Structure 1
Amino acid sequence: MDTSKFIKSFLIIILITSCSEVSDIDKFNSIVDEQWNKVIFDNPVYASSMGDLSRNQEWGDSSLRKIFQDHEYEKEMLIELESVNPKSFSEDDLTNYRLFVKQVSESVEMQQYKLYLLPFSHRGGIQLIHDTTSVLPFRSIDHYIDWIERLKKVPDLITNEIAMASQGIENNVMPPKILMERVKEQIKLQANTTAYKSPFFKHFAEMDSRLFSEDEIKEIQDQALEVISRDIIPAYKNLLKFFEKEYLPNCRISIGISDIPNGKAYYEFTARRFTTTDLTPEEIHQIGLKEVKIIRDEMDDVIESVSWKGTFKGFLNDLRTNPKFYFDNPDDLFKEYLATSKRLDPELVNLFKVLPSIPYGIKPIPEESAPDTTTAYYQRPAADGSRAGYYYVNLYRPEVRPKYEIEVLSVHEAVPGHHLQIALAMELDLPNFRKYGGFTAFVEGWGLYSESLGYDMGLYKDPYSKFGQLTYDMWRAIRLVVDTGMHYMDWSRQDAINYFLDNSAKTQQDIINEVDRYINWPGQALAYKIGQLKILELKNRSKEKLGDLYDVKDFHHEVLKRGAIPLYMLEENIDAWIEDTLNL
């Protein structure tokens, strides 16, 4: 089934609702349900990760034809949404309506910028899809067979990617060459190998002998080796040839998204979209400069407390180079992450009224992607409860992973940061598009806000750990400056790296990976600090207006109980809660 069939189905819904006495709320719910069904059908890997295995042998259609069909479908949907009168909706239904309209409107608006013609990323994509196994179930032989069937179709995915990239060349929508050099090296890992050494075989090599017999494992591994050798490696060799001969030579030297056609307008749009505000890039840049100064003053206080006699730059250099701040092996680094997370969990009851029922675990970031990715990230639980949430940590080069960052990083990615917020949202009675979606300014704003809760949880007692917390806060403030600088104000990549080095204790390895991440994903990094500042503003407002009636557990419950929402809507809700509390 392709999008054209969903369009026909959608038109039938319109016909039925227009010819019968269907209420506006029923009409709206039908549209939302139809859209979610389409999301699940169009994204089989996502569906599998959610526990729906009905298309567990399929990939999604990434062709240009499909992209254009989806755009027409969304335009039709937007027209139909505008015909719905939400006047009689309950507060919750009205929230759903406002958020769904916002989501569809932004998707329609984004089409004009042709970002779909940039299919490659060093942080994910066709050259790293072996990592897909991290979100799929492998509890039975059938699950492994399904994965092998999916792997047989990888050549078709690569053909689509080449077609998309070729259109990018034709339309002059091209990525920075410096990032694509990283992608080339990742493709080489897939192309210049043997089936046994292929990243795709690693998952088969690690089959659990407690679950499967020796004969079953051998049969599956033999099938996998055949597919990898016959289908996958040749397809990646073809991709590498295209990449080196045609794509890389046409990539641009510049780094800012403003250098693609209509790029400046796109950055203004994406800044509004990611922050859920009307802030301009210039305004965001100024907020960043102000926050950098505030945090720098706090850093100076910590430096004074440890009786450092040198310069600020010298202190940062000592943090980056002094062996006492680093583990010399990945095992000890991983053990410290585990120990820190165990210390966090018991403290949550002092800050929250409701805790998620599903647990989280910690895993190393896969070695194939670790050199090119960030310090850590979070993976949400499976919708059917078959997989816990996971906090992934980067163990590549432990000599550049500071001990003093472990506490603040764990608070952000695990609890009370991403795992607590996202797992709680998944347990709420919300439409699926809200339960499993979200707004970056809220999700990442909450993660950054959570870092400040470390003080309430008994963390940051060591001055260097406190400096680590300030380093992470500074890191997000710097993002406001360098992201807008590179994409809107003609900053060079080196300008961004130097600004980072001058103001943060982050190691150079981290800084380079971070700057390249911002180049790759314009605007996304703005959401963290803007979201955190709004939550802190609302917390301070609540304390000031409620006085003795203020309880941090109540405030956190009010922030989290509706799932991820835009910042303007969060402010509306907190103001209403303050008013209601005062009138009790």
Structure 2
Amino acid sequence: MKIRIKPMAIKQALIAMSVSIALAGCAGNSTNNSTGNQVAAEKMTQLAESKKIQELTENYFNESMAFNPIYSTFVGETKYNDQFDEPLTEAVFAKRLAFEKKYLASVNTIDSSKLSGQDLLSYEVFKRDLEVGIREFGLPEHLMPISQFGGVHSYFAMLGSGSSAQPFNTAQDYRNFMKRSVGFSAYMDSVITTMQEGIKKGVVHPKPIIEKLIPQLSAHVVDDVSKSVFYGPVAALEDNENISEDEKAKLKSEYIAVIKQVIIPAYAKVAKFVAGEYLQNGRDTVGLSALPNGKKWYEYRIETNTTLPLTAEEIHEFGKQEVARILSEMIKVKETVGFEGDLPAFFEFLRTDDQFYFDSKQGIIDGYTEVKEKINERLPLLFEVFPKADYVVKPVEAYREASEAGASYMPPAPDGSRPGIFYINTRDLKGQPKFSLETLSIHEAAPGHHFQIAIQQEVESLPKFRKFGGYTVFAEGWALYAESLGKELGLFTDPYMWYGRLSDEQLRAMRLVVDTGLHAFGWTREEAIAYMLANSSMAKSDVVAEVERYISIGGQALAYKIGQRHIRMLRNKASAALGDKFDVRKFHTQVLIDGALPMPILEAKIDRWIESQKS
């Protein structure tokens, strides 16, 4: 899939122009000569601008890795595997802001009218991202650096477990992580300092969020080092054939010392602070609007998570309309299966009847593994491009299952050394109903997140900043749109499986109402929980986890339905414009093949594709 103009293509274009100029000269016509020179000059200008955007984005990506060594490891860049992100200080923020502004000034020197294809997309995406990112520096996002739904405390544990992106193949790999651990400890000290600043400025997490954060931190404070998740690489040493026995003994001793003397104390210090001083100063309100400059802050979250000019009011109203529509579809399912009670009674039946739930954690994993094969057989009906990487189904690790979502996806290693991972949270058997098997698998794996992210990583000529970048509205919008393809794939033939699809979409519709309710309209945590219980068959434990997620990362939950709606709108537009020429497989290729894009840029790209298909 050759997408971007490569150096060889540039060379060929230059040769072609040289031939064109020579032929024009032989003709001896001054007018033709002049015209030929003008065309050649124009092409040279286009090539120059093309080279500028390619070099600029490549340099930006490479330079940004020094600012983001953890991210660097996750995308397969190994240069910074022994480093951790710099501590949170004003000097670091100022340096990063200057970095972003430097590149914005550079991209503004490029004449975008001379760009086309991948170069135009890169210019549009790069310029927009810089402008939006720079505005974030005016908001106090950094004052709440960790939460129960994410932060370095979670990412570091994933790396240190030996089951994620951090390599543990050689002795140097082990020493890299030991050195990185020292950087982690320094960063965690800055987390405390920054959160103390947040207390002074009144920018703190709500108390329910803080209470969920405490066990995530204290889980890593253990007396028996062999019980630590960070002991995983030590246990793996025994089977490592790349390291000599003498070196293994030395590494084991040094590594255990780092766990005891660096990693555990870092977690213990932050856990103590969060459970004490921070919890005491936690707030009773839950929405961003209750914080200083909170209305503007939430508007920014809406923009970054949807990439569209939407207001909280219109999103809230769209959500309520969708909730009502989906409820009417659920009533039809109730009637189809012959349930005689009302809809709330049907919800209770679905929540509690044993026939809808697995009797073991392994049963859940086996169920999703079987569905994987069923779905894979049908994908050629709607797709012509497939990821090379496979994915596996795994349970969420015990140390993070208490506060993780019901399911999630981790992309494959960029070098193909590790497949994608479809994580299922098996902590609560009633949180994983059998009727969600098909729709959840579609969303998190194929053709949802796995297709979108793996294909994006595998397009060789895609600039790195796009290959490893993303937009929530694109990723989650695509995954929810993928769910809507179930019937076209021959799935959802069982009415309960169709109910599972409706239940999943209802969750995303309720998110629009609840997220805006919490952060723009003053809803309480309890009001949000009551609303979701009244409009779905979700288990209360799942509802509580969802609501606390929306409180913690306001705006993120808006991306799903908004993205799905926009992609569906683009498909309908293309189908109406092309008629018999419309091929849904080619449309899906166009959506996926250039990686994640902001919705307005995706729309402009699809409009150009529609025009090209007409001719």
TM-score with structure 2 setting the length = 0.87
The structural deviation recorded for 1:545 is 3.0
Could you list the per-position Cα deviations for residues 136-185 of structure 1 after superposition, in whole angstroms to 9, with x for gaps in the alignment? Answer: 22233432332233224332121121121122122222111110111112
- Any idea what SS the aligned residue of 1:391 has? strand
- Tell me, in whole angstroms, the C-alpha distance in 1 between the residues paired with 2:241 and 2:349: 49
2:542 corresponding residue in structure 1: 510
Letter in 2 for 1:494: E
Verify: 1:102 aligned to 2:128, yes or no: yes
- After TM superposition, give the deviation of residue 224 of structure 1 in Å: 2.6
Residue 444 of structure 2 corresponds to residue 413 of structure 1 = yes
Residues 321 and 203 of structure 1: CA distance in aligned 2, closer, same or farther (over 3 Å): farther
Give the one of 422, 438, 444 matched to 2:476. Answer: 444
Amino acid at match of 1:101: K
Match of 1:332 in 2: 363
Q: Give the Å deviation of 1:94.
A: 1.8
Q: Are 1:578 and 2:578 an aligned pair?
A: no
Q: Which amino acid aligns with 1:57?
A: D
1:105 Cα offset (Å): 0.5
Name which of structure 1's ranges 105-114 and 562-571 shifts more when overlaid on structure 2.
562-571
8 Å CA contact 2:169–2:240 kept in 1: the answer is: no
Q: Aligned partners of 2:51, 2:87: CA distance in 1, in Å?
A: 32
2:276 aligned with 1:251? no
Which stretch of structure 1 is more off in the superposition, 167-176 or 437-446? Answer: 167-176
Identify which range, 270-279 or 483-492, moves more after superposition. Answer: 270-279
Q: Which residue of 2 aligns with 1:16?
A: none
Please give the per-residue CA displacement for 1:296-335, whole angstroms capped at 9, x wherever unaligned.
1111111110011111111111111111111121111111
Structure 1 residues 512-557: Cα deviation after superposition (integer angstroms, max 9, x where no partner): 1111111111111101101101111222233333322222112211
The aligned residue for residue 453 of structure 1 is 485
| Equivalent residue number for residue 115 of structure 2 | 89
Query: In the alignment, which residue of structure 2 is the partner of 1:562?
Result: 594
CA positional deviation for 1:208: 6.3
Instruction: Answer yes or no: is 1:155 the counterpart of 2:185.
Output: yes
Q: Against the structure 1 CA distance between its residues 214 and 49, is the aligned structure 2 distance closer, same or farther, given a 3 Å change threshold?
A: same
Contact kept, 8 Å, 1:169 with 1:250, in 2: the verdict is: yes
- 120 and 137 in structure 1: CA distance in 2 versus 1, 3 angstrom threshold: same
Distance (whole Å) between structure 1 residues aligned to residue 407 and residue 139 of structure 2: 30
Equivalents in 1 of 2:217, 2:314: separation in Å?
Answer: 39
Q: Match of 1:289?
A: 320
Q: Per-residue deviation at 1:83?
A: 2.8
Distance 1:101 1:498 in 2: 42
Query: What is the rounded CA distance, in whole Å, between the counterparts of 1:527 and 1:315 in structure 2?
Result: 29
| 1:377-418 deviations in Å (ceiling 9; x for gaps) | 111122222222211111112233111112111101110001
Q: Which moved more, 1:69-78 or 1:285-294?
A: 69-78
Match of 1:38 in 2: 63
The match for 1:18 is none
* Deviation (angstroms), 1:499: 1.1
Contact kept, 8 Å, 2:392 with 2:419, in 1: the verdict is yes
SS of 1:112's equivalent in the other structure is coil
Q: 1:286 to 1:147 in 2, by over 3 A?
A: same
Residue 405 of structure 2 is aligned to residue 374 of structure 1: yes
Bigger shift: 91-100 or 104-113? 91-100
Map residues 290-439 of structure 1 onto 2, 5 A cutoff: 290-428=321-459, 429-439=461-471
**SS of 1:135's equivalent?**
coil
CA distance in 2, matches of 1:225, 1:541: 60
Aligned residue among 563, 577, 581 for 1:531: 563
**d(CA) in 1 for partners of 2:503 and 2:238?**
41
Q: Does the residue aligned with 2:394 lie in a helix, a strand or coil?
A: strand
Aligned to 1:494: 526
Q: Is the 8 A contact 2:69 2:83 kept in 1?
A: yes
- Say which SS state the counterpart of residue 392 (structure 1) adopts: strand
Give me the whole-angstrom Cα distance separating, in 1, the residues matched to 2:426 and 2:374. Answer: 21
| Cα contact 1:113–1:263 (8 A) shared by 2 | no
Residues 342-380 of structure 1: CA deviation (Å, up to 9, x unaligned): 211121111111111122222221111111010111111
Equivalent residue for 1:198?
228
Q: Distance in 1 between matches of 2:145 and 2:92?
A: 14
Q: 1:569 to 1:384 in 2, by over 3 A?
A: same
Runs of 4 or more above 4 Å deviation: 210-219
- What pairs with 1:61-210 in structure 2 (closer than 5 Å)? 61-64=86-89, 65-128=91-154, 129-132=156-159, 133=162, 134-207=164-237, 209=239
Structure 1: how far apart are the matches of 2:336 and 2:427? 32
Q: CA 1:458–1:139 in structure 2 vs 1: closer, same or farther (change >3 Å)?
A: farther
2:574 pairs, out of 542, 555, 563, with 542
RMSD (Å) for aligned C-alpha atoms = 2.0
Q: Which amino acid aligns with 2:67?
A: D
CA distance in 1, matches of 2:488, 2:61: 40
- Whether the 8 Å contact between 2:307 and 2:599 is mirrored in structure 1 is yes
Q: 1:431 to 1:210 in 2, by over 3 A?
A: closer
Q: Specify the code of the residue in structure 1 equivalent to 2:82.
A: Q
Unaligned runs of 5+ in 1: 1-20
More moved, 318-327 vs 228-237: 228-237
The normalised TM-score by structure 1 is 0.92
Deviations 1:478-529 (A, max 9, x none): 1110000000000111111111111112221211111111111111110110
Q: 2: CA distance between counterparts of 1:254 and 1:208?
A: 51
Cα gap change, 1:580/1:172 in structure 2, threshold over 3 Å: closer, same or farther? same
Whether the aligned pair in 1 keeps the contact of 2:70 and 2:84 (CA below 8 Å) is yes
Whole-angstrom distance in 2 between the partners of 1:268 and 1:52: 34
2:157 counterpart letter in structure 1: H
Matches of 1:155 and 1:532, distance apart in 2: 41
Structure 2 CA distance, aligned partners of 1:305 and 1:215? Answer: 68
CA apart distance, 1:219: 4.6
Asked if 1 retains the 8 angstrom alpha-carbon contact of 2:315 and 2:516, the reply is yes
Q: Using the alignment, how far apart are the partners of 2:325 and 2:248 within structure 1?
A: 58
Q: Give CA deviations for 1:215-235 in whole Å, capped at 9, x if unaligned.
A: 765554433322222222223
Q: How high is the sequence identity, in percent, across the aligned residues?
A: 37
Instruction: Provide the secondary structure at the position in 1 that maps to 2:613.
Output: helix
**Alignment gaps of 5+ in structure 2:** 1-44
Q: Deviations over 1:193-226 (max 9, x none)?
A: 4322223224433556264677765554433322
State the one-letter code of the partner of 1:102: R
Instruction: Tell me if structure 1 keeps the 8 A contact 2:85–2:183.
Output: no
CA distance in structure 2 between the aligned counterparts of 1:58 and 1:205, rounded to whole angstroms: 23
CA contact (8 A) 1:123 1:369 kept: no
Contact 2:76-2:165 at 8 Å conserved across structures: no
Aligned AA for 1:153?
G
Alignment of 1:19-58 (within 5 A): 23-58=48-83
Q: Secondary structure at the match of 1:190?
A: coil
Secondary structure at the aligned position of 1:242 is classed as: helix
Give me the whole-angstrom Cα distance separating, in 1, the residues matched to 2:52 and 2:610: 34
The residue type equivalent to 1:42 in the other structure is: F
Take 1:217 and 1:468, find their aligned partners in 2: how far apart are those partners?
Answer: 50
Partner amino acid for 1:75?
K
Partners of 1:214 and 1:26 in 2: CA distance = 51
> 1:233 corresponds to which residue?
264
Q: Secondary structure at the match of 2:579?
A: helix
1:465 is aligned to 2:529? no
